Copies of this chain bind each other. A is one copy, B any other.
Amino acid sequence: MADDAPRRDAALVALDWGTSAFRGWLLDGSGRVLDGVRSGDGSLRTSAGAGTAAERAAAFGRAFERLCGGWLAAHPGAPVLCAGMAGSDHGWAEAGYLDVPGPLDGLARHLTAVPARDAGGADVRLVPGLRVAGELPDVMRGEEVQLLGALEDGEDRPVAVVLPGTHAKWVRLDGAGVAGFATVMTGEVYDLLRRDSILARLARGEPGPVPSDAFVRGLDVDAEHGDERGVLALLFTARTLVMTGRLGPEDVADYVSGLLVGSEVRHGLRSLADGPVAVCGSGSTTPRYRLALERRGRTVRAVPEDVAARGLWRVAVDAGLVAGPSAPTPILEDQP
């Protein structure tokens, strides 16, 4: 039927504007991707040199026009929805936070409009981040639309979504929405150790795209000894195993990665109900987390990292910015 065919008019410009990267998608009225842009103009670079909030907002506006001006010229009036660090207090405008525990549909009810003067006249709304209060506060900004996108799926709802990265996020879900989340510095600690530690001086080569035996060995050492010894002690075994000829220098990075991911997963699962876990990572990261989780008896659902566009579309529908379908969209099929 004609009504079911995708409408190819642009309906939404969706942006994931992070610290070090800018990603934009032009979506049609069914949420399908018509065009995409990716750039290193993250919020840090964009705001560099801007002294006041007004100068900063103007700088974001200029970058936006440069990166997406063509889309808006061709599709005047298309609304723009933006997640990520552009909504931080050092961004385009301050988009605040939504407190969790709470339902994710609250995101659509708490959008912040960017003043037209800072957006080249376009209708730009910012998505809030998520915030956990309490003794151990936590925040995310940008991952909340990946999270929404990961849940736009007909399969069993996972009990958690893991978003690996420099600062990995573990998001616990319940029936109503997000029960809580925690950030784990696995990626940053790994990078520091790889770049500048005594282990860096031992290691040769780069980790491969698929998890190696050395990665599995790191997982196993963590599983057997992590609770008793702790990750700060186990890390040193990368050195002593090399010294005693029982770990090759080319395996150091993967072994260390296994120790760190093993520790992260061991703790992350500790407070988690039974059920499947969704992992929303890049091509080389997801298989590592899948392996670590499956070795602990979890069913894993892999979700592509660029699911942010799907989450932004969901927010736009919920907010009434677009008259799109409320059912899951096939948005990722032809994403660039």
Contacts and interface: CB of A to CB of B under 8 A. Distances in A.
Dominant SS among interface residues on chain A: helix
Interface of A: 135-139, 167, 182-186, 188-189, 192-193, 195-198, 221, 225, 227-237, 240-241, 243-244, 246, 260, 263-264, 266-267, 270-271
Task: Enumerate the 9 nearest inter-chain pairs by beta-carbon distance, A residue then B residue, closest first.
Answer: A230-B267, A192-B192, A183-B236, A137-B240, A184-B233, A185-B235, A184-B232, A137-B244, A136-B237
B184 A192 contact: no
A260 B240 contact: no
Count this chain's copies in the assembly. Answer: 2
A117 B143 CA distance: 65
A236 B228 CA distance: 22
A232 B231 contact: yes
A232 B264 contact: yes
A228 to B, nearest CB: 5
A139 to B, nearest CB: 6
Contact of A233 (B195, B197, B267): B267
A271 B233 CA distance: 13
Contacts of A266: 230
Nearest to A225: B136
Contacts of A227: 227
B198 A233 contact: no
29 contacts: A135-B221, A136-B225, A136-B234, A136-B237, A137-B241, A137-B246, A138-B236, A138-B237, A139-B240, A167-B198, A182-B233, A184-B230, A184-B232, A184-B233, A184-B236, A185-B197, A185-B235, A185-B236, A186-B232, A189-B232, A196-B196, A227-B227, A229-B270, A230-B231, A230-B264, A230-B267, A232-B267, A233-B264, A233-B267
